[in-house]
Structure 1
């Protein structure tokens, strides 16, 4: 007999993404099937039942392509294959088929701004010489005034140009190992058309687009303004390499390709944009009807744990996205940011500061993370969960310096530890590392804290009060309740100061107490779920409750 839940998830639905809860898998750190200390495709396959049981709708897999892994796989050497450390194309095909059988859709990463310096086209460009067709696929330029062509900064530190032996420079907005593609070249455009179709034809349901606001550059190559004597890193309006008008032409082309698949049994193929843009009016340009379907709302991720700040972000986001017919897409953490349990355990002024430099109350952070999870999953639109957030994992801030892998560590001259603390492998079971991450006792590529035994999926599965159980309960209610997912909200006029309270029809109310004192629950028929224990009709501080009204 067929599974009615799986059937309901996989039936063609052009708008499934408007309400979807998507789970992000960082392949190196999710699950290791072969025991080499690195996560792999077969490890993901083995954990698909866990993800289906968790209750998510789709999985986004961070880059799994062949890569020297100098930037965690975002330095792609071949866009049409699987990194041998992770498996094979046959393994990927099996994963896609098995996920679909469980009712899970699959999104993968597209990295269109840059590739790896090991990519064959870049290697050919280095050999071909000045003025060649091969070099025109990238941004090669001559020296200007005895230095680089512009003063542009690289995201990981230092300048964005690297000089080669013949005196020319190539552009790398990120690491030195990641040369930028020249999207003014038709061959680059056609190559990515073919890459999209290659994966869509293999059954992939969509793409998360890495730095979706960066592909187009101002060809006049103007310098950026200085801030405190250094080239600004701000994405100001008119920035010559971020949010240029040309990116929208690229996205419109991709949307047309995705729409070619709309009539297949699998249904709509979709995109979600990574574009760190504020305010929301700028982000809304990426999700107009003929462009991408959705974009991460990073304003919410960066917002402090403060009722006023969160209310402003929610209002500004929803109003601007609804104006172009797009849903909001909420996210609390990802592979590039400090885990939100740690952020919420800090003074809000220092929440986004680097690892190991700010005092953190992890118990307070966990309490707020539970409340934030219920807020995120109650808001209109889609939501993303970063692997391990359902377990309440904190940022690992004391990794030994000799294991740090993020290019930020090297490019900053060993002053910024980078993003490795949120990429530590998942604890699945057992009482000591590697906590079931792989078979045997071999240790993973980044060391896990020895005190994570209480955070494993196994230890939390049987505890109804655990962080994992809270996520499962919330996702079950969200799937079943007609008010949740895509739609609208109405703020409740009777909410006390410091309390976020909104109603969604039919019959759902979410109340989040971010004040400094307990508050009385509003009238209701039933408590559907709460992030902490309730007593005597009172909602404690840093607690969220879902009510039937």
Structure 2
């Protein structure tokens, strides 16, 4: 397997709006990020993934871009960006920009031109279709509710938007549009950024016959997914993008890809295919989805989680590369989702899930606040929520499909706003995030959970993450070793080995508050062992062939023959 810097990196995602506000307007900004670069350097990460900072009317918090070459006023100026980039590089930190080119904002100049007339040169930058008998061209439902088609009276046609109606889809069948995108990518790469995280990039190739979507019983809309996910020309487009925009730079690229499977993942990330370095799949974060998706969450089983991770670990072994994540700006807080956010177990379970993820093969992602143990938020009123997806689900599902108690259960567990509350820097007002009124309320637990507190506690989750990152830099087996699962039917313990030549690690994670017994399989031979990292004190003299785990305990052993 080829060794590369991006395989050996740890990536930290910043959602700028909620990271750090430098000017008191209640919104995080680029100067606020620059202020905190020493903090990130202390943590030990290598790459910052920056959620969109481009000019945007903010219908979907920056994922609706009106100008790809300018900075959103809320976040500052291009000078602020250049300063942040320069300072990041001085700290040895790379910057990975968010690339959102499945769609733009409807306020982008391209779309303003496109909708003005059918013979405008920009008309084919977007996807326009006639309807029939007053009905949209297809029955597909949009990600944020409603139809994917919006009627525009100016030209009497519908435009496609897989997300909000203010996010019209770009027409990748148009070679002129594609060249515009590649030129824009080169603009940022020439500035010195280090790569791109590509938003829903496997949606850019559609089935141009636009067939009807299959309609589930009781559903308002058909499922268009099979006709726009991993579409017919997707590999052609990504190879062209690589050739035209990426190949002359030493970049890191990751594609966000809902609906991708392992076999497709191999094609997207294969080392000789010249497409992407890695992909984000969504299989594990969909665990527990109910009839109404994430809005009526059900119990999930550890065996299902292990099966998904193992399938990807083994599937991409020697043939591709994994992205490893528990949470991001679109997912709830990792500890609340995968661990236990009670006062008793929050820190210990946070360390456990971190151990499990960082010991797998792939590039790990830390979402801002994860390293200080932030949790989901429970706002009392729907008025306190800002996320378009959450607000639309509340509007569409209550009270006909879900009761108010049921929808709030779903919101508390899975809303995107769980990840978007401001970073809790200290115990002062607004958690030290802003001197003004924050754009979204701060989680009320900020006095107990904040960066100042964890930095003062040598046993905190912050220093545990720091140690995990350091171990990764010093032990090639963590990066390149093969993964093999143990006890795959166990519903409490997630255990696996990592092997690189003579180097072998044993990873044991208890995903429960019970005290299950771990039994080492007899085929694992060793003459000595040492504890590499653990979230409880471990007696080094204790035999490891059979022992009882504490609640949410994690241990990593190095085994020597």
2:456 equivalent in structure 1: 462
Offset, 1:363: 4.5
The alignment status of 1:285 with 2:267, answered yes or no, reads: yes
Instruction: Judge conservation of contact 2:317–2:482 (CA < 8 Å) in 1.
Output: no
Count of residue pairs the alignment pairs up:
512
Corresponding residue SS for 1:372: helix
Distance 1:175 1:504, change over 3 A: same
Which residues in structure 2 correspond to 1:142-153 (within 5 Å)?
142-153=130-141
The alignment status of 1:531 with 2:513, answered yes or no, reads: no
* TM-score, normalisation: structure 1: 0.87
Corresponding residue SS for 1:337: coil
Q: Distance in 1 between matches of 2:142 and 2:456?
A: 47
User: In terms of mean alpha carbon deviation, does 531-540 or 509-518 score higher?
Assistant: 531-540
User: In terms of mean alpha carbon deviation, does 477-486 or 205-214 score higher?
Assistant: 477-486
Q: 2:429 aligns with which of 428, 433, 454?
A: 433
Deviations 1:198-252 (A, max 9, x none): 010001110000001111111111110110142667676xx11221021211111
Q: Distance in 1 between matches of 2:326 and 2:533?
A: 20
The alignment status of 1:70 with 2:59, answered yes or no, reads: yes
Q: Distance in 2 between matches of 1:382 and 1:332?
A: 12
Q: Distance in 2 between matches of 1:196 and 1:298?
A: 26
Q: Distance in 2 between matches of 1:495 and 1:234?
A: 33
User: In terms of mean alpha carbon deviation, does 477-486 or 88-97 score higher?
Assistant: 477-486
The alignment status of 1:475 with 2:469, answered yes or no, reads: yes
User: In terms of mean alpha carbon deviation, does 292-301 or 44-53 score higher?
Assistant: 292-301
1:546 equivalent in structure 2: 556
1:23 equivalent in structure 2: 12
Distance 1:90 1:269, change over 3 A: same
Distance 1:270 1:448, change over 3 A: same
* TM-score, normalisation: structure 2: 0.85
The alignment status of 1:276 with 2:286, answered yes or no, reads: no
User: In terms of mean alpha carbon deviation, does 412-421 or 380-389 score higher?
Assistant: 412-421
Corresponding residue SS for 2:68: coil
Offset, 1:405: 2.0
Corresponding residue SS for 2:121: coil
Which residues in structure 2 correspond to 1:173-322 (within 5 Å)?
173-230=162-219, 239-262=226-249, 268-288=250-270, 289-303=273-287, 306-322=301-317
Q: Distance in 2 between matches of 1:36 and 1:197?
A: 32
Instruction: Judge conservation of contact 1:345–1:362 (CA < 8 Å) in 2.
Output: no
Q: Distance in 2 between matches of 1:147 and 1:23?
A: 45
Q: Distance in 2 between matches of 1:315 and 1:450?
A: 37
Distance 1:363 1:119, change over 3 A: farther
Q: 1:517 aligns with which of 515, 518, 529?
A: 515
Offset, 1:495: 11
Distance 1:321 1:233, change over 3 A: farther
Instruction: Judge conservation of contact 1:343–1:365 (CA < 8 Å) in 2.
Output: no
Q: Distance in 1 between matches of 2:517 and 2:245?
A: 48
Q: Distance in 1 between matches of 2:31 and 2:167?
A: 28
1:353 equivalent in structure 2: none
1:5 equivalent in structure 2: none
Instruction: Judge conservation of contact 1:534–1:540 (CA < 8 Å) in 2.
Output: no
Instruction: Judge conservation of contact 2:213–2:224 (CA < 8 Å) in 1.
Output: no
Deviations 1:165-224 (A, max 9, x none): 233211111001101111111221011110110010001110000001111111111110
The alignment status of 1:398 with 2:379, answered yes or no, reads: yes
Offset, 1:125: 1.8
Q: Distance in 2 between matches of 1:23 and 1:274?
A: 16
The alignment status of 1:501 with 2:496, answered yes or no, reads: yes
Taking only aligned residues, the RMSD between alpha carbons, in angstroms, comes to 2.6
2:97 equivalent in structure 1: 108
Corresponding residue SS for 1:483: helix
Distance 1:283 1:496, change over 3 A: closer
Offset, 1:293: 0.9
Q: Distance in 2 between matches of 1:72 and 1:470?
A: 32
Offset, 1:457: 0.5
Distance 1:309 1:18, change over 3 A: same
Q: Distance in 1 between matches of 2:329 and 2:174?
A: 31
Offset, 1:367: 3.8
Offset, 1:494: 12
Instruction: Judge conservation of contact 2:214–2:222 (CA < 8 Å) in 1.
Output: no
Consecutive unaligned residues of structure 1, counting only runs of 5 or more, are 1-12, 263-267, 347-359
Offset, 1:278: 4.6
